[in-house]
Structure 1
């Protein structure tokens, strides 16, 4: 993998630091009422991300802008309009006191689509609201100033530019020091105008005209230009490009920006707030586009904020869950939907080139007029990934955000076809300017994401029934699986070679996750082929999938007291085809339990048998694999690696690698899904709680409500909040949403659509010890479904209200272990039913037909 117990209603504010939980009132002069989380502690140490699809900013929660991130060391924060960074930051001085420094921030609030910071300068109360409107290459900051007495105050706004591209990075060839050109500053028509024009002295670089503009909704009374203007962060502490960095920096050796100041005299009436709006806008196509974005932002700032919050209320209105026995998970679902919406990005005019892991900067191979995608993580991974997007697909469809994942998959296809000459191989990592860091045809990985693409496409097809999307991605999906089967099995043993999710030393050439996702990808391609009427491809894919399935257990089960699958096969130091099993305790041992197979005429289930799944899950729940905050990347046990075993041992196998007790939210999420796939919802809660707490527990989160990449854990100590800003993992990582949205919607509520064929199954499983689960407005295609399920000692009740015309409904519920059915009634009448054995347990299902509307199922137990 790249290095890179709270219960609150969703309309309430969580106030950290000893405050109470209170309702959010509506306010005509501020954002509409919505869910908010507020913290008051360690604001200078916490990062904040404010995101729109064309613009985002990264700061600390006191409103300052230390040097942040590590791809280009210290330059990943500030203000961005992909693929361009505009500014290191903006700073506000009120009456000679800088907000965040002399006037300390008192609280930070994360809302749905905005953030807010409160300051008290001693005489004027200040409320700062940040928003990145969608569809505009601009961000807005509103300062609401309130004084108890009438006065005029001087407001100074400092801005420091850093016009630079998302790629190259600090350690690539060329690096950002060679590529970045000096900025110039000017004052024009009440605005600061920063530009970088020219051609870097780098082969294959082209001429560019970058522009950033800063202005307010009023005329300044004074302005200044100069090389500094970083507010309270002058004089700056400079991070070196290499070597040891200070605990905090203000700028870096990569920086070639300049600065300016705008000053305003603001009249404040007694007791009434006055809002000053500031806009930051920019373009990689010159000042005309930047000026247009600035004008759009300042034309109606309050209106843009209102439209943003309205759009986020629409996001909140889909997949509204009610989990009375698990309010923590309910709240986590609400915030995860917002995290996904925060992650949608767009860039235009991408110049596609394969950089061979940043070792070259070749000529442009092709262009892409427009790309939209779900960004992986902030601040260092806000661009396009295969693996991240394919995991995130499950959370995205469960949240009803279909357009985002369809755009992401189309973008992956478009870039891959150009860079890889339509081979079918999926690129791994694409920066927002079109630079492909890894995943070209001549590179070893990543096999897993090529195999996962047809599964993501099939998932979207089942949830949307979108025939145009199917037509768009089908040919690429066929090429994906032919590439894996025909090109990546050099020894002919049926198991694909190449890199997978875990990129660690000592692994064999054939990886477990690549195998699992190839099996699933073949079956999902067969499913797509049947929908397209392509019988030959359906037969080919099914045949290969069946052969791999039959041989899987014997080849991959490690057994013994490991109770696990092997992580990989074929020790590269031994002759090929030896099929040596290599066991290293990596998280990918869960993939046979996580990935469900959809096969014609059979019930969907994971690749692992029930017996093996029980062994794996029981073992992974032990301290050698699971810590206080989630599942470890690599478990502990006997090892020949330097340092020896650093934790408890749950088996006697000797691994060649050291453990890695970092808990990634995606790993914990996969464990939660795996537990749910085998009906273990009591055990699942441990892992959904682990991830939910990272968003909602003030003692754990960095940014309230944001799912991080890595959580506090033995080998990720200190946690992010105690690390240097230039050495942290992501404060917001989209793929972690997989581990809470999918378990709730797909497993607890049991929603399983196949809309392309006009079918829908809703078979909930109420977690043990909980009275009920429910969800409304779960989007399916252009319609939606409401689901509620309740369980007692004597009966199980499922209610489904379908607003998906022409879709046949199979309704049911999973029986508690050992329960027997006395009778089944559908809409008050005795009904025929079926008891079917699945990986989750015994399911009782009845055919509710295609009439739509409400269906009520009551299962009476003996």
Structure 2
């Protein structure tokens, strides 16, 4: 299986199962860091609680009188876990150490395996101290639910090689044990090479061993937790202890299953194929289960390890295209239920922690985006229950958008969108675009559910909103869509604040820019479009297919330059060309592909892929190229949707047992086979291979479940239900 190596010791890594997340630095240590919970975002987490600040190994060469806390020279990232190699950083101790750790996919614990090798020609006597430090505490924002960290962790020695810690005021437990030889044990206010914050305690297992020349020895650290009971914690520990090989094999099989689902092979593009595979694994790392609450895709590690409405309205589109229908359903259900509980009026929450605390009840954009997502889920999965479970809340959401959030009745909702910048809470382009998509989705949903009157109502409403978007947001002079619609009188009071933000980004001429566009407008009260920042969301009319064809083509062409695109993808703002995200690049790439410009779309993806492994080997950071979360969920949208839904061109209608394949292949892939194996449409798994060569399309489809497959290319179509389909158009 693929591995990625790094020698950047202070970068963060992630070891993940669906329950456990272990976060430290690539030198094998666990420094304090983080801002949601100051200095507490690392360590070992069993959401919604933290278990450990970290664990460390101290090695003392008794003959040479050298003692060091082991620090890794090399870090290796695998889809299933991580390895740390220690050699040079042990100084003159003639021992090499390798630490391998992983979290079983569905256990509430993890295992670290140490292997020591005496590479000298003489025996070496070592004293080994394996130290772990607990820190049982709740996730961020839990105090709003009345849940608080206890004053201390209470440590109980269970045996010479096993300790149980409990939070003094909550039923939170962690068991820490080892099979290190010997019987020396200590606990209390013990620290390793780093002083860590919190109310935890240390436990130390110590042993003296002698290694003969070329001899190896291994031992393990086992950590199990529970936010329910001591009995559950003990049950998990029993499942871990002594079962390293069996559990690791199962973990590798789970990772292999992820690789095999929607497996991409672009002929002659090994790097692109490899990154596509890693994005799927990254996505799995971010799945979080919390018993009694739910299972869903979190936003990013280590900063946003909980669930978001906005992020998932993008991310789940990629998840659906990869065929992980259960994850899409689980996540959408979690977001829906949290929204009903927190709001009840159709509004979709922005974020909910793993303890169930909602810190933001929802920005305008994500309600509309979620409604559109429900229809996308139905297209891929085909289960009518998806519509039945969501339709009432989605219709409430539309009433909220076009009622409370649209006081002037122009069908363009107000409030914050994806760009959460204080002051930018006007009629924003992304909220308007996704409202149009949402109304189109509601028309389709009601049509499927047999309510023709509602379907007709929403269809007519969608036409009006699409028309409004193209009239109100279009700037003819710039040939771009505007960031926002508002009267001048609403913009003027925000100028000083927006200028202060711009100046912090180094845009000293921004005041002059704003004053110029304001001076050109005489009517203080008339709604009009404003190109305030050229934020990346001005791509959304094209990404969503809402833009008039001619306007969309002009806008895309006018964004294909250095004002909007940098070395690693699309800037967050065309006015402040500094910062990029995988989502800004992904939305731009989908916009290019939807309007037929596959090569321009591929160029954006290849720029984004330059950030691959910059920080965490095998991953792309949230902010391109190298900061923010080291793993980010919406990267799956950016990488997968352009490739699967546009280049290969899969357009599913699972509810009809149909699949349309409408390829739009990059010119640089001319003459190459693009193969997507084991992609799921409804209950069917299909393999799709396409190639364009000299103006002709060649397609091969494995279709053993009898889908009605239609291949469309340059106005020609071919339809078949055969189990093996070969097409030349």
TM-score (norm 1): 0.76
Superposed CA RMSD in Å reads 2.5
- Equivalent position of 2:689 in the other structure: 788
Matched, 1:579 2:479: no
- Equivalent position of 1:566 in the other structure: 482
Matched, 1:139 2:56: no
Shift in Å at residue 552 of structure 1?
2.4
Q: How far, CA to CA, are the matches of 1:346 and 1:319 in structure 2?
A: 23
- Equivalent position of 2:284 in the other structure: 341
Q: How far, CA to CA, are the matches of 1:455 and 1:294 in structure 2?
A: 43
Matched, 1:588 2:504: no
CA 1:292–1:96: 2 relative to 1, 3 Å: farther
- Equivalent position of 1:155 in the other structure: 128
3-state SS of 1:295 partner = helix
- Residues 443-502 of structure 1, C-alpha deviations (whole Å, 9 max, x = no match): xx4111111112212112111223343433333333322322233211111111221101
Alignment of structure 1 residues 87-486 onto 2, 5 Å: 87-95=52-60, 103-120=70-87, 121=90, 122-148=93-119, 153-168=126-141, 179=149, 181-189=151-159, 190-198=161-169, 208-217=170-179, 220-229=182-191, 231-233=192-194, 236=195, 251-252=196-197, 255-265=198-208, 271=214, 273-348=216-291, 369-420=292-343, 422-439=344-361, 445-486=362-403
- Equivalent position of 1:681 in the other structure: 598
CA 1:280–1:328: 2 relative to 1, 3 Å: same
- Residues 82-110 of structure 1, C-alpha deviations (whole Å, 9 max, x = no match): 00011110001233699996544232111
Q: How far, CA to CA, are the matches of 1:481 and 1:576 in structure 2?
A: 30
Matched, 1:845 2:721: no
Q: How far, CA to CA, are the matches of 1:566 and 1:344 in structure 2?
A: 36
> Is the deviation greater in 401-410 or in 540-549?
540-549
3-state SS of 2:667 partner = coil
Shift in Å at residue 505 of structure 1?
4.5
Q: How far, CA to CA, are the matches of 1:577 and 1:800 in structure 2?
A: 58
Q: How far, CA to CA, are the matches of 2:217 and 2:387 in structure 1?
A: 52
- Equivalent position of 1:13 in the other structure: none
Shift in Å at residue 270 of structure 1?
6.0
Aligned pair count reads 685
- Equivalent position of 2:519 in the other structure: none
- Residues 726-762 of structure 1, C-alpha deviations (whole Å, 9 max, x = no match): xxx2111111121111111111111111101111111
Matched, 1:731 2:601: no
CA 1:218–1:609: 2 relative to 1, 3 Å: same
- Equivalent position of 2:513 in the other structure: none
Q: How far, CA to CA, are the matches of 1:179 and 1:311 in structure 2?
A: 35
CA 1:429–1:283: 2 relative to 1, 3 Å: same
3-state SS of 1:105 partner = coil
Contact 1:329 1:740 in 2 (8 A): no
CA 1:578–1:804: 2 relative to 1, 3 Å: farther
Matched, 1:764 2:658: no
- Residues 510-554 of structure 1, C-alpha deviations (whole Å, 9 max, x = no match): 111011001101111222222222323322322211111223211
Q: How far, CA to CA, are the matches of 1:279 and 1:430 in structure 2?
A: 30
- Equivalent position of 1:30 in the other structure: none
3-state SS of 1:161 partner = strand
Shift in Å at residue 153 of structure 1?
4.3
CA 1:529–1:268: 2 relative to 1, 3 Å: farther
CA 1:497–1:467: 2 relative to 1, 3 Å: same
Q: How far, CA to CA, are the matches of 2:712 and 2:125 in structure 1?
A: 67
TM-score (norm 2): 0.89
Q: How far, CA to CA, are the matches of 2:139 and 2:68 in structure 1?
A: 29
- Residues 210-249 of structure 1, C-alpha deviations (whole Å, 9 max, x = no match): 22221113565211112132x222xx3xxxxxxxxxxxxx
> Is the deviation greater in 461-470 or in 731-740?
461-470
Contact 1:99 1:119 in 2 (8 A): no
- Equivalent position of 2:46 in the other structure: 81
CA 1:794–1:173: 2 relative to 1, 3 Å: closer
3-state SS of 1:811 partner = strand
Contact 1:635 1:661 in 2 (8 A): no
Contact 1:464 1:755 in 2 (8 A): yes
Contact 1:784 1:802 in 2 (8 A): yes
